[in-house]
Amino acid sequence: MVVGKLDGKVAFITGVARGQGRSHAVHLAREGCDIIGVDLCDQIASVRYPMATKDDLDETVRLVRAEGRQIVASTCDVRDAEALTAAVRQGAEQLGRLDIVLANAGIMPILGLEGKTPEAFRDAIEVMLIGVYNTGRATLPILLEQGSGGSVVITSSTAGLKTPVMGSLSDGLLGYFAAKHGVVGIMRAWANAYGKYNIRVNSIHPTGVATPMIMNEAFAQFAQDEPEAIGGMQNLLPVPHVQPSDVSNAVIWLCSEEGRYVHGVTLPVDAGLNAR
């Protein structure tokens, strides 16, 4: 019998319906992990590309179960702290515990006229900064109650470490930068606060990832309209973007015994972008 790196663990993942979240769920399940997953499965007005649907979430459920693992999945908005806490508690009770937290939910409200509004800025902050805060508030008490440690990984971005030169700066893009920088501060504060309980906290910083967030017509138009911005996002390695599995592999390393002494770091998976 092959033993996975995460056998017997349970992970909570936000933004699980597709993209990086789905990839994390499937790859963690392959390593022996059961999954609690949530996703909004609805559209946010400032986001121009189509967001994940309930059908996407159902497909993630199917893929995790195909790996022979359990999953408790529900529609939930990370901006709703009460609903998020209830979803985590229900999943942990059903699966018996919680070990891993992946604060992954994200949006890119930077495209078209929709991205040039105060609402786009607020949506970015509420989903990707306050949503991470809410995720911690929902999960860290469970890890503390269990008393057996855990691993928290926050999805930031290369834009959370270094802001590229932009031809113009929309409200949504400003919110995106602010949120992705802000979660690094949350990560470091949690790392200092919870390290003594053997709860490891890190952030991960991908370059562009081949998910529906950027593989869409609206982003292609943005690339055409903002060549200076896209030029600032070029990787040093000769790839235009990385795959979701590349990020998932890094997450698994952080959450497994192989990364047991990695704590409080900002881990790039960036094909060299931030070395520019």
Q: What is the pLDDT of residues 70-111, one digit of tens each?
A: 999 999 999 999 999 999 999 999 999 999 999 999 999 988
Nearest-angstrom CA–CA distance, 66 and 75: 21
pTM: 0.96
Average confidence score pLDDT of the chain? 95
Whole-angstrom distance, CA of residue 24 vs CA of residue 227 = 31
Mean pLDDT across 55-66: 98
Residue 124 has a CB neighbour count (10 Å cut-off) of: 29
Task: Name the DSSP letter for residue 4.
Answer: P
Give the tens place of pLDDT for each residue, 135-176: 999 999 999 999 999 999 999 999 999 987 777 789 999 999
Q: H or E segment at 12?
A: strand 10-14
Distance CA(274)–CA(257), nearest Å, equals: 27
Comparing 23-37, 124-138, 169-183, 215-229, which segment has the lowest mean pLDDT? 215-229
Q: How confident is the model at residue 271 (pLDDT cuts 50, 70, 90)?
A: very high
Q: What is the pLDDT of residue 276?
A: 83
Give me the percent of the chain exceeding a pLDDT of 70: 97
Fold classification of 10-265 (topology level):
Rossmann fold (3.40.50)
Domain boundaries, the chain: 10-265
C-alpha of 50 from chain center: 18
Q: Is 217 helix (H, G, I), strand (E, B) or coil?
A: helix
Q: What is the pLDDT of residue 225?
A: 77
Q: Is 176 a catalytic residue?
A: yes
- Calculate the alpha carbon distances from 31 to 148, 162, 192 in Å: 20, 32, 29
pLDDT tier for residue 220 given thresholds of 50, 70 and 90: confident
Find the range with the poorest average confidence among 208-217, 219-228, 260-269. Answer: 219-228
pLDDT of residue 219: 85
The rounded Cα 77 to chain-centroid distance in angstroms is 14
Mean per-residue pLDDT for 211-228? Answer: 84
Residue 116 three-state SS: coil
Rounded CA-CA distance 15/103 in Å is 8
The answer to whether 47 and 124 are in contact (CB under 8 A) is no
- Residue 1: pLDDT above 60? no
Task: Name, in order, each residue with C-beta under 8 angstroms of 116's C-beta and a sequence gap of 6 or more.
Answer: 170, 171, 172
* Average pLDDT value for residue range 6-32: 98
pLDDT at 9 > cutoff 90: yes
Give the phi and the psi of residue 150 in degrees, each rounded to 5: 160, 180
Evaluate whether 97 touches 149 at the Cβ level (below 8 Å): no
> Minimal CA–CA distance to 121: which of 181, 179, 39?
179
CA distance readout (Å), 161 to 85, 165, 255: 29, 13, 22
2 pLDDT exceeds 70?
no
Q: For residues 255 and 229, which has the higher predicted lDDT (pLDDT)? A: 255
pLDDT value for 68: 98
